[in-house]
């Protein structure tokens, strides 16, 4: 399931930044509980929010989806 795979990928990349879910969500101005549910693969996230996360991670969308 792509939502699960994407959530895992985001969690892995966010962990590499050294930021907690809460701090990362704050940085990208996304609701903390929404962001947590994205990492858990429970959201059919839209492109605007995916882009916001990729920007926060400092990577391209293509990089974000690498391997998925």
Under the rule (CB under 8 A), what is the footprint of a copy of itself?
2-3, 6, 44-48, 50-51, 60-68
Smallest separation (angstroms) from a copy of itself to the CB of 49: 8
The smaller minimum CB distance to a copy of itself, of residues 58 and 68, is found at 68
- The string of DSSP codes covering 1-31 is -HHHHHHHHHHHHHHHHT--HHHHHHHTT--
Q: Which SS3 state, helix, strand or coil, does residue 41 take?
A: coil
Shortest distance, CB of residue 33 to a copy of itself, whole angstroms?
Answer: 19
Q: Which two tokens stand for residue 11?
A: 């969690």
Of 3 and 37, CB closest to a copy of itself: 3
């Amino acid at each position: 399931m792509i939502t699960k795979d994407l959530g895992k990928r985001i969690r892995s990349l966010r962990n590499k930044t050294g930021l907690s879910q809460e701090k990362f969500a704050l940085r990208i101005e996304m609701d903390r509980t929404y962001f947590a549910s994205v990492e858990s693969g429970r959201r059919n996230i839209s492109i605007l929010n995916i882009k916001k996360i990729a920007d926060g991670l400092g990577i391209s969308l293509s990089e974000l989806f690498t391997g998925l």
